[in-house]
């Protein structure tokens, strides 16, 4: 395996694109940043950006060092019996985080809350890579879907924090299937079940 | 309001105690740090530590700039109909975080994941200030209580992250009672309801 060393004035193209993309996403947000402008800023042809990263989504995920493509996770979880959606999603999520990609996930979460810029990028990540894709992929009602998915995301972010970042026991060492049995039904309920008081404007009462 | 200026060799006593306490908790953990050793390190009488902070728990909460004393929250939530425990807890939690103390909560969460030291302190916070107190206060089964409380904590940490740190919509602007209606039953289930597959070693199956 021969790796090309970096030389002044001839930086690694992939890194140059990633650097330009990070700046563009940070300044203009996901929607405002264009592949064309990123390519210009990196001094390369737009076709090269597509060649290296495939799509704007993939480029964005690469700038964030995301441990996974949420679209793949959502697509895989969506395939199968709808009543087991939550359990499948949580199981896939934990399998990724318990595996070699977990360290990247922890780094992402850590950087996310470290400063305002990173927090804004993580918000864009949730909006563009999770909310926008999950609502149609999961066949959720347009009016309710966004809030349902943010509730599910709150549980998954909290699980990642508690199990992988804070590492609080006995949760941190619990077998995957134990965690799936506990929070799978939570995610299922948030995504597909009746939520009295949430969409009818009455609140929880009491 | 007259405030005493700091002079070299005569630092503000309260700050000196807090500084000594931070070091002691970081080095020895909550259990290993003693009021006596903290007082010695700060160059004051142990009685003065009690005078300023009341208890080791309160001193620990002060070093972490905690927006609330979890014991008070747990105690208040525990009073009343047990079937409404989750709803009461989530409502109290959101009222605190939606209020003036919310900024301190966000700062705590941000600092928590920023570095290993802060993460370790937050783990101690969850263990000593939440787990140890919640299990007896809520009358939970000793064998199951710790895991139940960490599941509930994962949802609350995630809610705080999503609503107050990442501020993802529509969750960030949802009325308190809408959030209570959604996640109150989750916390209730984690704390008091039957959780098939969690304690019987069978997992979620499937």
A147 in a structural domain: yes
How many angstroms separate the first and last alpha carbons of chain B? 66
**Do B136 and B39 share a structural domain?**
no
Look at residues A40, A63, A86 and tell me which one is the last residue of a structural domain: A63
pLDDT surpasses 60 at A206: no
The count of domains in chain A is 2
**Do A32 and A117 share a structural domain?**
no
How many angstroms separate the first and last alpha carbons of chain A? 66
pLDDT at B10: 40
Longest dimension (CA), chain A: 67
List the CATH number of the domain containing B137: 1.10.357.10
pLDDT surpasses 50 at B108: yes
* Residue A151 near chain B (CB below 8 Å): yes
**Do A57 and A76 share a structural domain?**
no
Phi-psi region of B154 (alpha: psi -120 to 50; beta: other; left: phi over 0): alpha
**Do A144 and A43 share a structural domain?**
no
Closest residue of chain B to A85, computed from CA coordinates:
B206
A7 in a structural domain: no
Q: What are φ and ψ of residue A138, in 5° steps?
A: -90, 0
Percent of chain A with pLDDT over 90: 62
**Do B155 and B57 share a structural domain?**
no
pLDDT tens by residue, B124-177:
988 998 988 899 999 998 889 999 999 999 999 999 999 999 999 999 999 999
**Do B166 and B131 share a structural domain?**
yes
**Do B138 and B40 share a structural domain?**
no
List the CATH number of the domain containing B48: 1.10.10.60
Q: Which residues contact A65 (CB under 8 A, 6 or more apart)?
A: A104, A107, A108
pLDDT at A149: 95
| Cα–Cα distance, B57 to B10 (Å, whole number) | 26
C-beta atoms of A178 and B189 within 8 A: no
DSSP 3-state assignment of B10? Answer: strand
Q: Which residue range is the domain that position B39 belongs to?
A: 13-63
pLDDT tens by residue, A69-98:
889 999 999 999 999 999 999 999 999 999
C-beta atoms of B154 and A147 within 8 A: no
Of A62, A71, A106, A103, whose CA–CA distance to A89 is shortest? Answer: A71
> Which residue is listed with tokens 């809408």?
B178
List all residues of chain A from 34 to 63 with a beta carbon under 8 Å from chain B: none
Q: Which residues contact B53 (CB under 8 A, 6 or more apart)?
A: B17, B59, B62
How many C-beta neighbours within 10 Å does residue B10 have? 10
B28 in a structural domain: yes
* Residue B165 near chain A (CB below 8 Å): yes
pLDDT tens by residue, A33-56:
999 999 999 999 999 999 999 999
**Do A50 and A20 share a structural domain?**
yes
Closest residue of chain B to A194, computed from CA coordinates:
B182
């Amino acid at each position: 395996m021969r790796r090309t060393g970096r030389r002044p004035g001839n930086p690694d193209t992939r890194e140059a694109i990633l650097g330009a993309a990070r700046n563009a996403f940070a300044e203009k947000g996901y929607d405002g940043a264009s592949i064309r402008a990123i390519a210009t800023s990196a001094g390369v042809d737009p076709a090269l950006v597509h060649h290296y990263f495939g799509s704007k989504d993939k480029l964005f995920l690469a700038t964030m060092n995301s441990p996974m493509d949420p679209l793949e996770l959502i697509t895989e979880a969506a395939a199968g019996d709808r009543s087991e959606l939550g359990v499948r999603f949580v199981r896939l999520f934990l399998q990724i985080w318990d595996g070699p990609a977990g360290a990247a996930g922890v780094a992402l979460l850590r950087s996310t809350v470290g400063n305002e810029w990173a927090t804004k990028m993580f918000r864009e990540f949730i909006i563009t890579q999770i909310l926008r894709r999950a609502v149609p992929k999961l066949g959720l009602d347009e009016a309710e879907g966004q809030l349902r998915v943010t509730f599910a995301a709150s549980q998954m972010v909290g699980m990642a924090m508690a199990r992988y970042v804070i590492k609080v026991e006995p949760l941190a060492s619990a077998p995957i299937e134990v965690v799936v049995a506990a929070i799978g039904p939570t995610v299922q309920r948030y995504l597909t079940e009746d939520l009295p008081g949430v969409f009818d404007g009455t609140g929880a009462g009491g």
